[in-house]
């Protein structure tokens, strides 16, 4: 997969790229002139997304011209022949950003032969910089972080999100949200998957699940959680498949319990307000 030295160097590149993108987000914060939908209701894009991604790509192309890139706004870039693939979200939480709700981030992950190996998640408003690489641990603002020690759902705080297609499909996590709300001290829906995963790694959130995600939403966060001592998987406990759009991430202690709840949920049924 590459030595610790190599991953450490690429982590520095990812950090520079994330901070370049974050600088753009700060420039546009509260100054947006146009907010558009990309096709589905609620799926927004702004000048900050586009220009932030351009700043990130400029850094990656300078240091890693032969690597492939999967970026939210630009799609798949490169010759698709490299074992290295950067997964980039220049603005995770665009809806929050557009409403000046300060829960959003730049997310940059590096996959080596399809496996997430390093990640950087950066909120430029709070100036929280999360970094992790395989075997090198996880940090927030350069201080080591660890997942929580909560081992009982009744004492836990969870997070989730609702996909953009929630208005169109019965396969959503509304029932799961209600179930976990009854079983825990609370479930938060803040609107940025990368930050949700980062705060699982930080120990502020004990567990997180969501569907309808893209690889750039979770590639970096997977590494953060893993390196902070947590666990990530599909809902059934098998390895995460990035293309599935589903993830379960926990402090490890709650993983089996959350997986059991998710697997015990009945098959999706038509909801009255979707008909």
Mean pLDDT in the chain? Answer: 91
| CATH number of this structure's domain 153-265 | 3.40.190.80
Query: What are the residue boundaries of the structural domains of the chain, listed by start?
Result: 4-144, 153-265
DSSP 269: -
In whole angstroms, how far apart are CA 253 and each of 62, 149, 151, 170, 203? 41, 7, 5, 30, 12
The model's confidence at residue 35, banded by pLDDT at 50, 70 and 90, is low
pLDDT in tens, 120-160: 999 999 999 999 999 999 999 999 999 999 999 999 999 99
Architecture label for domain 4-144: 2-Layer Sandwich (3.30)
- Where on the phi/psi map is residue 203: left (φ > 0), alpha (ψ -120 to 50), or beta? left
Distance CA 244, CA 74 (A): 20
Structure tokens at 229: 């001592």
Q: Has residue 15 got a pLDDT over 50?
A: yes
Residues 6+ apart with CB under 8 A from 273: none
| For range 253-268, the mean pLDDT | 92
Tell me the HSE value of 41 on the side-chain side, using a 13 A CA sphere: 5
- pLDDT tens digits along 209-235: 999 999 999 999 999 999 999 999 999
Among 154, 152, 153, 160, smallest CA distance to 176 is for 160
What does the alpha-carbon distance between residue 74 and residue 236 come to, in Å, rounded to a whole number? 32
* Residue with the larger pLDDT of the pair 80 and 140: 140
Band (268; pLDDT cuts 50, 70, 90): low
Check pLDDT > 50 for residue 275.
Answer: no
The yes-or-no verdict on residue 166 having pLDDT over 60 is: no
**DSSP codes joined into one string, 68-137:** EEEETTTEEES-S--SEEEEEEEEETHHHHHTT-S--EEEEEEEETTEEEEEEEEETTTTEEEEEETTTE
Q: State which H helix or E strand residue 46 sits in.
A: strand 44-46
pLDDT digits (tens, 9 = 90+) for 99-123: 999 999 999 999 999 999 999 999 9
């Amino acid at each position: 997969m590459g030595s610790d030295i190599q991953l450490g160097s690429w982590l520095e590149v990812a950090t520079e790229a994330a901070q370049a993108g974050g600088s753009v987000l700060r420039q546009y914060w509260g100054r947006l002139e146009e907010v558009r939908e990309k096709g589905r209701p609620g799926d927004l894009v702004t000048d900050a997304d586009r220009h932030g991604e351009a700043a990130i790509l400029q850094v990656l192309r300078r240091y890693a011209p032969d690597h492939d890139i999967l970026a939210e706004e630009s799609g798949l870039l490169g010759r698709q022949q490299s074992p290295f693939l950067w997964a980039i979200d220049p603005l995770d939480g665009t809806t929050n950003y557009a409403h000046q709700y300060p829960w959003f981030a730049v997310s940059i992950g590096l996959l080596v032969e399809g496996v997430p190996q390093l990640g950087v998640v950066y909120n430029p408003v709070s100036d929280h910089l999360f970094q992790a690489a395989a075997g090198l641990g996880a940090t927030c603002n350069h201080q080591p972080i660890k997942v929580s020690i909560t081992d009982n759902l009744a004492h836990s705080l969870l997070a989730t999100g609702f996909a953009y297609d929630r208005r169109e499909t019965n396969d959503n996590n509304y029932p799961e949200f209600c179930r976990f709300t009854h079983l825990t001290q609370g479930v938060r829906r803040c609107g940025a998957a990368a930050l949700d995963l980062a705060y699982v790694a930080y120990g502020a959130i004990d567990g997180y699940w969501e569907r309808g995600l893209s690889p750039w939403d979770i590639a970096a966060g997977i590494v953060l959680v893993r390196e902070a001592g947590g666990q990530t998987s599909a809902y059934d406990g098998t390895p995460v498949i990035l293309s599935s759009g589903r993830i379960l991430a926990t402090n490890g202690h709650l993983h089996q319990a959350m997986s059991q709840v998710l697997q015990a949920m009945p098959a999706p049924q038509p909801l009255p307000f979707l008909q």
